[in-house]
């Protein structure tokens, strides 16, 4: 999506306080003739002090710098649907970063409309996934807005970008010696670059921050209970918690015991394979518990179809299609299935493991002890199995009889 330079007067910029997004401010003004840059930063529970970030955007030349707390919608509108969908991209990654982008982009569109801006912008490069996620959401929600993407076009190295920023009073980052690229929010951390670019190199312990190593995790394990209502987690160990606090508690418990580390080769939207390190202790724990409760409360055919659709849902979110028609249709299917996902799951945490120790649903359990037992209370009609097997095996027997001729 290439934009003709110099035609946008007022731009809302996705701002993180990092090198690229900071340099975007003077670059848009000096190179592309933008008159006003409005920096927008989202508090997604990353734990950073955001007032310095707001001030840094003003120092870099932004006309206005906005920081908004979006933690509650992030958890309720994005994380919880991902839990109900058991969303794991390529079977492993629970989308902690991907879930944040459509929320930020949606809010940027709203701010652009409120401020009468004629463009939105981001500092994503041409190699990553985030450029796709931002651009597609912008096109879906506000096709009339221009999209400016300076980092795809300025062709500056990291060192050149830092030097360019210093010319406009943007200080070099204190952490510029760190080789890692890190993204953080309430749902987890993603880490790449540096020695991690060698897929055969074990990740050094320094890349982890919110999960204990197996060596440092407590020797004594801990059993916890997670309760769900209509597919959403509502309590841990009997304590009813609001959604954001529940995720924080899940992060703390799982992270303390070393659960939630992922080291994977991932297929980006643009076709590049990348090595990614994720720490997603709480989200991964909640999805694991939710899957277990579904095994107790959903019919077998519903489970089979849902497992197939979960993979597609995760792909759509990863690929930036949160507001697309297929994702919306799948949401309708998932929402219906979750009406019956009510109950409690017990999990034992120890040394990087999360082992299911029990599951119960007084309202919606499809498990019948009278059918499952081999004891004296067995109510299953064993003789009925003969007729079932005869009908079930009929196509195979017919096929076999023809093959023998």
Backbone CA torsion sign across 271, 275, 279, 282: positive
Here the tokens at position 164 are 């360019």
Cβ neighbours of 379 (radius 10 Å): 9
Query: Which one is catalytic: 16, 20, 96, 135?
Result: 20
Instruction: Provide the b/e sequence for 153-175 (b: ≥16 CB within 10 Å).
Output: ebebeeeebbebbeebebeeeee
Please tell me which residue in 101, 106, 133, 261 is annotated as part of the active site: 101
Is 181 catalytic? The answer is yes
Residue 383: count other Cβ atoms within 10 Å of its Cβ: 7
How far apart CA 256 and CA 239 sit, in angstroms, is 19
189: which strand partners? 184, 279
Annotated catalytic residue, options 22, 106, 130, 359: 130
Check if the beta carbon of residue 303 is closer than 8 Å to that of residue 295: yes
Encoded tokens for 272: 């590049």
Q: Is 244 left (phi over 0), alpha (psi -120 to 50) or beta?
A: alpha
- Terminal CA-CA length for the chain: 63
**Which of 163, 181, 213, 369 is labelled catalytic?**
181
Largest CA distance in the chain: 86
Indicate the helix (H) or strand (E) that contains 119: strand 119-121
For residue 20, indicate whether it is catalytic: yes
Q: Is 130 a catalytic residue?
A: yes
Distance, CA of 221 to CA of 216 (rounded, Å): 13
Contacts 24+ apart (CB under 8 A), 246-251: 247/45, 247/75, 247/79, 247/186, 247/187, 247/282, 247/283, 247/286, 248/45, 248/186, 248/282, 249/282, 250/226, 250/281, 250/282, 250/283, 250/285, 250/286, 251/186, 251/188, 251/210, 251/281, 251/282
Q: Tell me the β-bridge partners of 352.
A: none
Active site residue 101: yes
**Residues with catalytic function:** 20, 101, 130, 181
């Amino acid at each position: 999506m290439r934009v003709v330079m110099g035609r946008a007067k007022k731009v809302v910029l996705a701002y993180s306080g990092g090198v690229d997004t900071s340099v975007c401010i003077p670059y848009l003004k000096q190179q592309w003739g933008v008159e006003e840059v409005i920096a927008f930063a989202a508090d997604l529970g990353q734990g950073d002090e955001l007032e310095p970030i707001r001030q840094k955007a003003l120092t870099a030349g932004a006309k206005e710098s906005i920081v908004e707390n979006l933690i509650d919608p992030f958890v309720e509108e994005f994380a919880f649907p991902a839990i109900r969908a058991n969303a794991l991209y390529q079977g492993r990654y629970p989308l902690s970063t991907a879930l944040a982008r459509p929320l930020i982009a949606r809010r940027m569109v709203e701010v652009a409309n409120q401020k009468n801006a004629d463009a939105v912008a981001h500092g994503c490069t041409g190699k990553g996934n985030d450029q796709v996620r931002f651009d597609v959401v912008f096109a879906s929600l506000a096709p009339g807005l221009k999209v400016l993407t300076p980092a795809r076009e300025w062709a500056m190295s990291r060192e050149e970008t830092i030097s360019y920023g210093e010319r406009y009073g943007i200080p070099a980052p204190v952490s510029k010696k760190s080789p890692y690229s890190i993204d953080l929010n309430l749902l987890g951390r993603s880490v790449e670059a540096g020695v991690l670019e060698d897929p055969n190199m074990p990740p050094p312990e320094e890349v982890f921050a919110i999960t204990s190593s197996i060596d440092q995790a407590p020797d004594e394990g801990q059993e916890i209970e997670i309760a769900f209502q209509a597919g959403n987690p509502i309590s841990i160990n009997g304590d009813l918690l609001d959604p954001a606090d529940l995720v924080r508690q899940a992060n703390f418990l799982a992270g303390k015991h070393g659960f939630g580390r992922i080291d994977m080769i991932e297929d980006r939207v643009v076709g590049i394979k990348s090595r990614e390190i994720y720490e997603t202790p709480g989200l991964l724990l909640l999805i694991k518990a939710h899957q277990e409760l579904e095994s107790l409360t959903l019919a077998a055919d519903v489970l089979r179809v849902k497992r197939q659709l979960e993979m597609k849902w995760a792909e759509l979110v990863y690929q930036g299609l949160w507001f697309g028609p297929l994702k919306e249709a799948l949401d309708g299917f998932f929402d219906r299935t979750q009406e019956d996902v009510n109950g409690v799951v017990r999990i034992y945490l120890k040394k990087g493991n999360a082992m299911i120790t029990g599951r119960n649903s007084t309202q919606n359990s499809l498990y019948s002890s009278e059918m499952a037992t081999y004891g004296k209370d067995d109510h299953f009609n064993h003789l009925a199995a003969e007729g079932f097997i005869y009908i079930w095996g009929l196509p195979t027997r017919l096929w076999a009889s023809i093959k023998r001729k």
